Structure 1
């Protein structure tokens, strides 16, 4: 690659607006998606690459050869501008973005929702592949691993007033099998496949870890976001929900689970 192009690329990554990964905030990104015009870290670059070149064309700033047109395209924008004006233009104000300390599984679903589904592009953005994500839905089927009886059971999970999660045998039951209070929980993140169950996430409390499996990666991503926001909201009482709720979305964050005297819990 031409030395002048190398220097222009180095100048781009020295720009403070490109100083962190566009997707997870990891410092000093050394990779880029050429067609999406964002700089990303090596972990997120791996996720981008897995989507295929029809979604994201990934190059190393230092190891790959760049064309003049590619460098020029990156010079027209920066990570902050691309996120603000396009990829995260309609992200809810209180949305909790995955950070560099989160699991690869969560980052993967975030990147899929953000770039493949184009879920948070401007509301006037027109694309046949666009798929908005609806975070208003606060209940649905999951599969949960029991505490006493170590088996997986299908349960109807419901977020109650952003303060607790309750799970039922059916959507019509009034008495829950268990209740998850959302103020004191710790880790809420995706985990690798457990017992051949896909799209699993964990809710950690001082007493135990709760394993939940979802039918799709998007469902897992939505539940993690809802639970995380609920926890954050409970621990920051002055936090307010953004206007995006009126258009499409709402968010949450979750914590601690207490059983209701059932072996299912």
Structure 2
């Protein structure tokens, strides 16, 4: 650690070693070695890069290489991750997705901006979609030509569904999907856009995909959390005895595994063909390519349900419901 007197260095190390500061305040990565001298939080290198993009809010420094004066060390000592989280994360809705260091850039950046820049969680009810309705334009990939075109989407908690329209003035939606069969997951590399979102749903016992993005990272993350919000309130009504954490664990999920494999027909007489496989929940699916929008070729039960003996009746009811839906 360069510069500074010995007493200041010892004080900094003492604050740094507090248990509350052992994980990044924003993504939970162990052993953060950066900190914000204006917010008082200890963060990892990756999150420090996001903080640098909001210099009016946060000024970051390395705990190993930069000089910290006495006033800055005292500020860190008075704050730290626990105190700062109590301020900026005071009213996070149960359904709001809090990203980890394994999540994509847009999720982590908007989480940090939501906390410190927009202060969305300092008071209850500050989120723009807290009234249960979200409407707007998303760029959707076309089924036939593969081009992304602007489409109007409408999410309604009252109706319990997500709709999209091919024209802004259209009265009837192209697709009307019930909220309980929807999954949403960020797929920036797969879609080829840093704000790419894949919306998956079941129809006629087949998995369908909608690939969308928005130029604004905030807007696409708002759509993602709005879907989780509507799902959460739907399940609260469907399972009134279930607690919030049990329902939270049944909201959107990432795929367990994706990638290309070679497959042949059931009689093993056909030539092997390259197919895109996705392992999702208890389904192993394959498609012609990663961005097949609607025509799932086949789905296979990958796993049987393993019921934990410690499962509560509420958890069992939710598990049984989703088994039936899938």
Shift of 1:17: 1.6
Say whether the 8 Å CA contact 2:143–2:294 is kept in structure 1.
no
1:11-160 → structure 2 map (5 Å cutoff): 11-52=14-55, 54-84=56-86, 86-122=87-123, 132-136=126-130, 137-160=133-156
Structure with the larger RCO, 1 or 2 (CA within 8 Å, 6+ apart):
1
Query: Normalising by structure 1, what TM-score?
Result: 0.74
1:253-264 → structure 2 map (5 Å cutoff): 254=252
What number of residue pairs does the alignment pair up?
A: 239
State the Cα RMSD in Å: 3.5
Find the counterpart in structure 2 of residue 220 from structure 1.
220
Distance 1:155 1:106, change over 3 A: same
Say whether the 8 Å CA contact 2:183–2:200 is kept in structure 1.
yes
CA distance in 2, matches of 1:72, 1:190: 42
Shift of 1:3: 3.0
Q: Secondary structure at the match of 2:164?
A: strand
Q: Unaligned 5+ residue runs, structure 2?
A: 254-279, 281-291, 296-326
Answer 1 or 2: which has greater strand percent: 2
Structure showing greater Rg? 2
CA distance in 2, matches of 1:204, 1:45: 33
Shift of 1:26: 1.8
Shift of 1:204: 5.5
Say whether the 8 Å CA contact 1:193–1:199 is kept in structure 2.
no
Q: Unaligned 5+ residue runs, structure 1?
A: 124-131, 242-251, 261-265
CA distance in 2, matches of 1:174, 1:253: 30
Query: Normalising by structure 2, what TM-score?
Result: 0.62
Shift of 1:64: 1.2
Say whether the 8 Å CA contact 1:229–1:254 is kept in structure 2.
no
Shift of 1:140: 1.6
